[in-house]
Amino acid sequence: MAIKTQFRLKGKNRDSYLELIQELPLASIKSEQHRKDAQEVMDVLLARGKLDEGEATYLDALSDLVASYEDDHHAIEPASDADMLRYLLEAKEVSQVALSRATGIPKSSISEVLSGKKQFSRQMIRKFADYFRVDVSVLAANI
């Protein structure tokens, strides 16, 4: 069955793509060993620097397959509210007192979040998102 597509690799680009396919076929990653093998191929390609179109196309597809496997098997838990706030404070080099003054959120509430005794409220999320200039979804991961 022939399928018509707009995407075609020709000449040297097609050859480099097919060589990589023969080395490690593009297929769903099913095991940790398969993921490691794919990572090794990706590392080699990334170390080359400039890639031709065939190599770049292969690398894009392989990295998508690895990312999908890792999302399913090595999910990263969202950061706690305390960790997120601590990171934002350090990144902006601002104190709890300065944050309290700028947002109107009591320093005691900020301290409770940082100690893990309290989670972000919706009001805190809105004010912190505005202050730190981040999307509210960054701070609302645990709601």
**How many H-runs (helices) and E-runs (strands) does the chain carry?**
8, 0
- The amino acid at residue 64 is D
Tens digit of each residue's pLDDT, the chain (143 residues): 566 656 677 888 788 999 999 999 999 999 999 999 999 999 999 999 899 999 999 999 999 999 999 988 987 887 899 999 999 999 999 999 999 999 999 999 999 999 999 999 999 999 999 999 999 988 887 66
Q: 60-74 b/e with 16+ CB inside 10 Å = b?
A: eebeebbeebeeeee
Q: What is the pTM of this model?
A: 0.56
Q: Is residue 38 within 8 Å of 62, Cβ to Cβ?
A: yes
What domains appear along the chain, each with residue ranges and CATH number?
Answer: 11-73 (no CATH), 81-139 (1.10.260.40)
Going by C-beta distance under 8 Å and a sequence separation of 6 or more, which residues neighbour residue 22?
none
Q: What is the pLDDT of residue 83?
A: 93
Cβ–Cβ under 8 Å, residues 13 and 7: no
